[in-house]
């Protein structure tokens, strides 16, 4: 009978027993601390922000490198487009160094009509007097450019013999053409238009 009555009564909870014990003894016991929840969401957000900033910095740096490369390419293309130096604009003259000293050796200028001026270093007739090869130097570099002068064009200034002497100053215009394989220079100027100036 007692066991039945005992089972019907509620058993005191741990918290309730602690409060009763505190009241009887006159003690004030602190409540157990609440469990701390780790700031997982906050850490994840901070990590995501840092990762996004790093990726953006990498993209900016890549764009800067692309811009620098484009600026360098633009300068090279502008130099190829405008081969006339400022002090030569009155004659429209392209320096020999602009042709031979180019990164590609002047191959990008092949097919263009250019004006070259300077002094004859060496000159010789060939093809039974049908044309002459002139080595022209303008002082812009040590190398000279070969100019192929036809007999018909040379007649404008009195013939090939007037152009071949060393030290003759000339300003000629012609098309830059590739030379046969195995030659020293990759290109030569064929003065197929006219001689703009000649002096001794």
Q: What's 146's domain CATH number? A: 2.40.50.140
Instruction: Look at the chain and report how many structural domains it folds into.
Output: 1
- Contact between 136 and 185 (Cβ < 8 Å): no
On whether residue 172 sits in a domain, the answer given is yes
Maximum Cα–Cα distance across the chain: 149
Residue 53 belongs to some domain of the structure: no
Residue 145 lies in a domain: yes
Is 60 exceeded by the pLDDT of residue 17? no
Above 80 in pLDDT, residue 39? Answer: no
Q: Pick 41 or 177 by higher pLDDT.
A: 177
**pLDDT over 60 (residue 73):** yes
**pLDDT reported for residue 7:** 45
Indicate whether 3 belongs to any domain. Answer: no
CA distance 141 to 45: 63
**Strand (E) or helix (H) holding 58:** helix 40-81
Give the three-class secondary structure for 134: strand
Give the pLDDT confidence score for residue 101 in this predicted structure: 86
Instruction: Confirm whether 33 is domain-assigned.
Output: no
Confidence check: pLDDT of 4 > 60: no
The answer to whether position 43 is within a domain reads: no
Domain around 192: 86-199
pTM of the model: 0.56
């Amino acid at each position: 009978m007692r066991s039945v009555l005992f089972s019907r009564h509620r058993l005191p909870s741990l918290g309730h027993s602690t409060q009763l014990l505190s009241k009887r003894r006159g003690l004030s016991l602190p409540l157990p601390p609440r469990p701390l929840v780790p700031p997982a969401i906050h850490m994840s957000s901070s990590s995501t922000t840092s990762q996004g900033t790093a990726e953006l910095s990498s993209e900016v740096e890549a764009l800067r490198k692309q811009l620098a490369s484009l600026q360098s390419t633009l300068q090279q293309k502008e130099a190829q487009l405008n081969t006339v130096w400022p002090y030569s604009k009155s004659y429209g003259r392209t320096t020999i160094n602009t042709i031979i000293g180019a990164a590609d050796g002047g191959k990008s200028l092949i097919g263009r009509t250019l004006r070259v001026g300077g002094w004859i270093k060496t000159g010789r007739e060939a093809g039974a007097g049908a044309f002459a090869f002139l080595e022209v130097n303008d002082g812009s570099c040590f190398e000279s450019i070969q100019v192929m002068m036809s007999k018909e064009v040379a007649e404008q200034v009195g013939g090939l013999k007037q152009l071949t002497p060393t030290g003759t100053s000339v300003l000629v215009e012609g098309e830059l053409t590739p030379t046969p394989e195995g030659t020293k220079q990759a290109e030569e100027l064929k003065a197929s238009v006219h001689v703009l100036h000649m002096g001794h």
